[in-house]
Chains A and B, each alone.
Chain A
Amino acid sequence: MIGMRVAQRGSDAATSPDYKMAFSTSWPQLPILKKGQFVSDGTFQVIDNHGLGYVPAFMVFIDNATPDLATRIADGSENPNFGMDENSLAISSSLTAGAKGHYYIFALDIEKNFTAPILETGDAGKQQGRTESQGVRFTQDGKDAASKDLRDFSVHSNTRPWVIHKVSTGRKAVGGSQAIPIPHELGYAPFYLGFVKLDSGAFPSPRYQAINAATTDASVLSTPTQVTFTIGYVGSYSFIVLQDPLV
């Protein structure tokens, strides 16, 4: 065996199944390379010059959503206005001026196909018997390991990682509505992060936009056997299929 596995309290890291683990280097995750906040001024804005040289996965949340100035992921009408390429994340001029939000940029190339093994799932005991001082935790640089704030940690055994099952890329070459299947073998309807780079979009040059929430022009649905992406436009797409967190 190569790599590192950290078992939950009372389990053998060498022999226990995945759902008894707190962490394993066999689990591909979504490491956060960068995060930031933005306020739209109603014009084209580059909000993050990441300069990675590849197109990274990203998520955008709106922080002044109505009602109550609540937080939620960008909806179907907002997603087309956030565009990612190999160098930067930008907002199009169509995003409502005054819209506030934040974003994550992950260390995952969405143009590279990838498939990871399926994790065993089961009853992990829901952290039974663990106290604040038990388990494993890795703080981020400069943070105190005794911190009570989970945001200070890269790994914390009182949480679960979001594990990638696969990245699937392709191109829709012909116009007209088409349902594109992204098959998987998870056996349950998984969460997903979808991205599409339209040949003709809202940006000066084509960029990937998120497509996790449905729009009037596109929809994404999840079943135990596939994620189905339906769109009428021509362009390239990438879908990240996430494994459910272990209980």
Chain B
Amino acid sequence: MRTGFIATYGKTDLASAPDDEVAVNTAYGTLLISASANPSHQDLYTFEFSSEPGNGDTTMFRVPHGFNYQPDGLAMIQFDDELGGGSFEGQFAILPLLQIGAGNTTFKYKITASYLEVYVTVSGGGALTLSGKSYVFKYIIFANSK
């Protein structure tokens, strides 16, 4: 017997539906999105490098999430012609991205108890030119956590 609130997709029987036919079941949770930035909604999150990070330097932007715990989340970056080579220009990839380009630049993100932070570390001589360039990110912050 099932208890709680259950809703299934389409005409699927509430009493006998397998789990993958259930739209919501209060016996378990779902991923709840509390914040996001999505280019599809003209809600871009851009980050511009104001100076050229030196070898070993880290620079970042951060988004406050408003929880007093570490929620889960994802971030994507859009390649320009320099980050991924001309063939990847305009395409998005989920972070972290390690060793991009000849300079071994890394784009990573982390979630602390206060922020989702996307940060960039340049190593290997800083072969990429980042100063004055803007990068577009998408991110999702869930309410869920470990």
Binding site for B on A (CB under 8 A): 2-4, 23, 25-35, 37, 52, 54, 59, 61, 63, 65, 67-68, 70-73, 75-77, 101-102, 104, 107-109, 112, 121, 123, 138-141, 150-151, 153-156, 158-162, 186-189, 191-192, 212-214, 216, 219-223, 228, 244-245, 247
- The answer on a CB contact under 8 Å between A189 and B78 is yes
Q: Report the bound CA distance from A161 to B23 in whole Å.
A: 11
Binding site for A on B (CB under 8 A): 3-5, 7-11, 19-20, 22-34, 36, 38-41, 43, 70, 72, 74, 76, 78-79, 88, 90-99, 108-112, 117, 138, 140, 142-146
Q: Considering residues A4, A155, A220, which has the most beta carbons from chain B within 10 angstroms of its beta carbon?
A: A155
- The answer on a CB contact under 8 Å between B9 and A26 is yes
Apart from A31-B28, A65-B110, what are 8 other A-B pairs with CB-CB below 8 Å?
Answer: A3-B10, A25-B8, A35-B29, A101-B146, A140-B26, A151-B143, A188-B40, A212-B94
Q: Considering residues B22, B29, B95, B143, which has the most beta carbons from chain A within 10 angstroms of its beta carbon?
A: B29
Residue of A at shortest CB range from B88?
A221
Assess A70 versus B111: contact at CB under 8 Å? Given A159-B33, A191-B94, A219-B93.
yes
- The answer on a CB contact under 8 Å between B32 and A150 is yes
Q: Report the bound CA distance from A108 to B41 in whole Å.
A: 27
- The answer on a CB contact under 8 Å between B72 and A61 is yes
List chain B residues, Cβ under 8 A from A219. Answer: 93
List chain B residues, Cβ under 8 A from A70. Answer: 70, 110-112, 117
